[in-house]
Amino acid sequence: MESTNWILQLLGRLHPLLVHFPVGLLVVAFFLELLTLKGKKTGLREGITWMIYIGAISAALSALFGWFLKTQEAYTGDLVDNHQYTGIATAVLAIITALMLKSSLKKETLNLKLYRFTLTLTVVLLSIAGHLGANLTHGEDYLTAVLPGNKVEYNDEESGALLTELNGAAELTELQQDKLSLKVRGLFAHKCYQCHSDNKQKGGLVLEHKEGVFKGGETGPAVVAGKPEESEIYKRIVLPANDKKVMPTKGKLLTAQEIALVKLWIKEGAHWSDQAVKVFPEAALALTKPELPKVPKETHPLDKLVDTYFRAKAITWETPVNDRVFIKRAYMDIVGLLPSPEVIDAFLEDTNTEKRSLLIDNLLNDKEGYTQHWLSFWNDLLRNDYSGTGFITRGRFQITGWLYNALKSNKSYDQMVSQLMNPDKASEGFIKGIKWRGVVNSSQRTEMQAAQNIGQSLMGVNVKCASCHNSFVSNLTLDQAYGFASIFAKEPLELNRCDKPIGKIAKVNFLYPELGSVEGETLKERLLKLSEVMTNKANGRLYRTIANRIWERLIGRGIIEPVDEMDNTPWNADVLDWLAADFIDSGTDLKHLIKRIMTSKAYQLPTVNYKTEDALKKDYVFKGPVLRRLSAEQFSDAISQVIAPVYVAVAYNPNEEKMPAKRIWHHQKDLTNTVLPLPGKRYFRKTFQLKKDAIKDASVLISVDDSYKLYINEMPVGEGHNWTEVGKYDVTQLLTKGNNTIAVEGTNEGKIGNPASILFAMRIQHKDGQIENLYSDETWKSTAHTPKGNWMRFNYDTKRWKKVKNYGNRNWAKLLDFTFKSHEKTFARASLVKQHAFLKALGRPNREIVVSKREEQATLLQALELTNGAFFNGILKQGAEQWLHTYGHDTEVLVDTLYQKLLGRHPSSDEQKILIGALGREPSTAQVQDVFWSLLISPEFQFIN
């Protein structure tokens, strides 16, 4: 602190008194000056002159004394600075004004105009300086606080209620002591942390933790237990607002009730609760099933609750959607596919009153369909993908197999969570995170990723902030985040604040310690405990979070939003709690949860147009579901169903027939390095011997990127131009006992190097039942030079040919059709496909981090992909050819069938007319393709109504 001088200090304290002189004198002088305008009331001149002189001198003195006050008594802050600058400027201007006046009096009105101008300026500045000074003394909101609408935000009702409760008690119970302690610490957080926290220790005082509070600051102990009057904190908060020692110096003072609470707390011994202080609103952890209101006209429990909500909001029930809309919703929401026209017609004709519920059951029983649709939701949520960062350095593991089976067998949610928390090899990918080589920011170590992801995905709480420093947006602390992350570490982690170690070792802990201990000697032990703690039924948060997520999926808007922030207020707590409690009662059966929502009238209401984003996000009132855009997977699968297969190869194949065939090509080198194959023709050979000639059956599978001509023993077998179409050939007649030769002329298309490969498999069944297999692998040979002579001959000289290169399967997925089994050719569900440009453009995220909500906005890049993307247009073309082949003879049937298949309805006569006009009587492939496009891009198809 600066040294203080009592004289200066005294003068400084005279500043607030002195400032009234210039304020009064100069302002009055200004008004009198106005009266003298246009040469009137000239008699005022002398008085004005003296006012200006005295005003200017007192302004200068005020500024000087103000400066004393500031330096002697350690005022700081923007407000003080601004007051100082404007004050000094006022003083200077006042003196200039006075000087001008003096000179204008001598030279007679010459400088009068200039003087009047500076006087005006002085008064304006004076008002500003005066206002800032008043703000300093009385608080910045002194004036504005009394304006209507600017009432104190902080909820004082709560303080009042607590005070009443505690004052009424003869002796405080432990629970009441805790409550009081937390309340007071909450006050500290809101009112004092800004200057008295670990981050900023004004006066050496830290109020963030017990040690700091009881240690006190430079002026002595802040709290003397039992003696409020001796406690510095209490002494300072009760000071009058204009006392310069009053606390807090920034923001509003404490209310009388708040002061009373602090006093009571100190008087009662300043008990310090071990619980973490809850500064931010936090949802209760526990879950109790709300009593259902008596609403006889509604049978569904959710509808009883919604009905009560509707009545309170004066909303009337709309008529539920018709069967056509319902069946599309149900299909899209459970299996992610379009219902076929036959299914729709049958459903419409069905007179069973329970048919909607039955349909939901049937769809939920379609295990593969359900799994392959909901897989995408879980992949997003659990950050699981088939390709992406980390895999290349084995720093990341898939959980696809485990997840697929969990959904298919409808594992309970409890079981899923347990197996994710305490995993075996199949499910460990989730908590293992993504490990990058090299040094990683400590808030991104894999253990912390586990804490963050569990927090976000399963518990709806943001651990990301707290993994770097105490959170500014929730109650989580750095200690808690590291305690949580330490569960997954070999040994407890050292805390890092903003990536700097702070020399403190974390205490293993769960975010909500009241659920139980997660401490244990070994990692396994801790994970086991975590799995138990997480699925402890007292952890209502786990169940509310998933119930809210599923509701959001089906309705388009969560009961709480954003769905990752479960401390936010729900639009109706009873709906959420009942749904979560009912989910627990069902044995945490996810299908039950889905069915519960879908059978409600609330789900079956027509979609509501919320007009603006705010109406949907901030000021939301539930009136019914929201229109949802098809996901990338739903869009792609629908096209596969109706137009032509979008994907025929998968990254994860649940029915895999494992064959060791490799994707090979001519080894392209640049100096010593392998590079992408250059465009052009390459020649491949494989020779082999057959010991027997009694061949019963021999067949070949081949897929080549980009095209091939296949020969066996110099005989042409077949050719192909699309790697996704598997060539299947019977070659029984072509093989002979002894020497055999496979020859492939392959072509890589394009202008620059790009992936190319041959995938080949041959199965030979001998009459004696023995089976021989032959696959593409590194024993094949290739050349880039056009061979001379008959290169397909067995004995052809291949001395200068090279060993082929296995190019791996990074650029190709597993072909569904690459199998010797008779196989009904179908399409691959987009959820099983490796991330692909088309899906990405449509909004499938890269799953490097948890994605709980996809982008809903249409984007230019997406529109470009749909408008001129070669991939999409290729599929449309293929589909158009197929459709023409089937319906080409009858445009009307074509249009009607297309509408039924894509939109689940017949076209209106208008639409029929437009489309027949576009197609003509004898449509071309191009015309059909363009009609497909127009319908697929149309909002009716792109949105789930």
Round to whole Å and give the CA distance between 624 and 631.
Answer: 20
393 binds another protein (CB under 8 A): yes
Q: What is the 3-state secondary structure (H, E, C) of 554-566?
A: HHCCCCCCCCCCC
The span from the CA of 298 to the CA of 165, in Å, is: 40
∠ CA 567-568-574, nearest 5°, is 90
Secondary structure class of 748 (helix, strand, coil): strand
User: 732, 763 in Cβ contact below 8 A?
Assistant: no
Q: x/- site string to another protein, residues 527 to 566, per CB under 8 A?
A: ----------------------------------xx-xx-
Nearer to another protein among residue 409 and residue 924 (C-beta): 924
- Return the H-helix or E-strand segment holding 803: strand 802-803
Site residues for another protein, window 494-513 (CB under 8 A)? none
**Touching another protein, residues 750-769 (CB under 8 A):** 751-752, 754-755
CA angle in degrees (0–180, nearest 5) for 894-896-901: 95
Q: In the stretch 605-624, what mask flags binding to another protein with x, by CB under 8 A?
A: --x-xxxxx--xx-------
Sites for another protein among residues 370-389 (CB under 8 A): 387-389
If the CB atoms of residues 856 and 922 are measured against another protein, the closer one turns out to be 856
- Lay out the site mask for another protein across 665-704 (x = CB under 8 A, - = otherwise): -----xxxx-xx----------------------------
**Of 34 and 392, CB closest to another protein:** 392
CB 373 within 8 A of CB 335: yes
Asked if 30 is part of the footprint of another protein (rule: CB under 8 A), the reply reads: no
For the chain, how far is it from start to end, CA to CA, in angstroms?
A: 69
User: What would the x/- binding string for another protein be over residues 791 to 810, using CB under 8 A?
Assistant: -------------------x
Order of strands, edge to edge, in the sheet holding 802-803?
Answer: 715-720, 707-712, 738-748, 680-690, 781-783, 802-803
Q: Are strands 814-815 and 649-650 parallel, antiparallel or unpaired?
A: antiparallel
When binding is defined by CB under 8 A, the residue of 191, 411, 629, 685 that contacts another protein is 629
Residues between 561 and 580 that touch another protein (CB under 8 A): 561-562, 564-565
- Nearest approach in angstroms of CB 802 to another protein is 19
Q: Does 943 bind another protein (CB under 8 A)?
A: yes
Min dist. Cβ of residue 839 to another protein (A): 12
Q: How far is the CB of 835 from another protein (least distance, A)?
A: 8
Site for another protein, residues 422 to 461, rule: CB under 8 A: 434, 436-441, 443-444, 449, 452
Considering only 197, 376, 462, 588, the residue that binds another protein (CB under 8 A) is: 462
Q: Please say which residue, 111 or 474, places its beta carbon nearer to another protein.
A: 474
Q: Write down the least CB distance from residue 896 to another protein, Å.
A: 15
Q: Which of 260, 869, 878, 916 binds another protein (CB under 8 A)?
A: 869
| Nearest of 516, 457, 461, 458 to residue 487 by alpha carbon | 516
Please, is 482 exposed, middle or buried when counting C-beta atoms within 10 Å of its C-beta (0-12, 13-18, 19+)?
buried
Give strand pairing partners of 505: 494
- Considering only 206-214, 604-612, 685-693, 775-783, which stretch makes contact with another protein by CB under 8 A? 604-612
SS3 per residue for 444-492: HCHHHHHHHHHHHHHHCCCCCHHHCCCCCCCCCCHHHHHHHHHCCCCCC
Binding mask 902-931 for another protein (x = CB under 8 A): ------x-xx--xx--x-------x---xx
**In angstroms, what is the C-alpha Rg of the chain?**
39
- Burial track 324-345 (b if 16+ CB lie within 10 A, e otherwise): bbbbbbbbbbbbbbbbebeebe
Beta strands in 721-779 (DSSP E): 727-730, 738-748, 757-766, 771-775
Minimum distance, C-beta of residue 328 to another protein, in the bound complex (Å): 11
Identity of the residue, 464 or 686, whose beta carbon is nearer to another protein in the bound complex: 464
Applying the rule CB under 8 A, the residues between 871 and 900 that interact with another protein are 873
Q: Does 392 bind another protein (CB under 8 A)?
A: yes
Q: Which of 170, 312, 314, 860 binds another protein (CB under 8 A)?
A: 860
Helix/strand/coil for 577: helix
User: Cβ of residue 387: shortest distance to another protein, in angstroms?
Assistant: 6
Is the CB of 155 or the CB of 673 nearer to another protein? 673
For residues 823 and 853, which CB has a smaller minimum distance to another protein in the complex?
Answer: 853
| Contact criterion met (CB below 8 Å) for 556 and 602 | no
Q: What contacts 87, CB < 8 A, 6 or more positions away? A: 62, 63, 66, 129, 133
Measured distance CA(642)–CA(897) in Å, rounded: 10
User: Among residues 473, 502, 715, 893, which is the contact residue for another protein, using CB under 8 A?
Assistant: 473
Q: Which of residues 326-355 bind another protein (CB under 8 A)?
A: none
For another protein, the closer of residues 62 and 453 by Cβ is 453
Q: Between 264 and 303, how does the x/- string for binding to another protein read (CB under 8 A)?
A: ----------------------------------------
- Min dist CB 409 to another protein, Å, is 31
Identify residues 825-844 at the interface with another protein (CB under 8 A).
Answer: 840-841, 843
Residue 384 or 462 with smaller CB distance to another protein:
462
Is residue 430 a contact partner of residue 399, using CB atoms and an 8 Å limit? Answer: yes
Q: Distance between CA atoms of 195 and 204, rounded to whole angstroms?
A: 10
Helix (H/G/I), strand (E/B), else coil: 698: strand
Nearer to another protein, 443 or 477 (CB): 443
For residue 267, give every residue at least 6 positions away whose Cβ sits within 8 Å of its Cβ, in sequence order, or none: 226, 227, 228
What would you measure as the largest C-alpha separation in the chain, in angstroms?
A: 136
Q: How many residues contact another protein, by CB under 8 A?
A: 93
Cα–Cα distance list, 453 to 118, 390, 481, 853 (Å): 64, 17, 12, 14
CB of 285 to another protein, least distance (A): 20
| Structure tokens, 731 | 């070659």
* Residue of 176, 653, 912, 945 that binds another protein (CB under 8 A): 945
Q: Which amino acid is at 217?
A: G
CB of 601 to another protein, least distance (A): 19
- State in angstroms the smallest separation of the CB of 393 from another protein: 8
Return the number of other C-beta atoms located less than 10 Å from residue 666's C-beta: 27
Look at residues 807, 774, 560, 557 and name the one whose alpha carbon lies nearest to residue 666: 807
The window from 150-158, 185-193, 584-592, 854-862 that contacts another protein (CB under 8 A) reads: 854-862
Judged by CB under 8 A, which stretch of 82-90, 390-398, 702-710, 764-772 contacts another protein? Answer: 390-398
Give the DSSP H or E segment for 431: helix 429-432
Among 42, 351, 868, 909, binds another protein (CB under 8 A): 868
Closest CB 477 distance from another protein, rounded Å: 16
513 Rama sector, left if φ>0, alpha if ψ -120 to 50, beta otherwise: alpha
Binding map of another protein across residues 49-88, x = CB under 8 A, - = no contact: ----------------------------------------
Residue 534 Cβ vs another protein, minimum distance, rounded to whole Å: 21
Q: Which is nearer to another protein, 262 or 511 (CB)?
A: 511
Q: Nearest distance from residue 55's CB to another protein, in Å?
A: 38
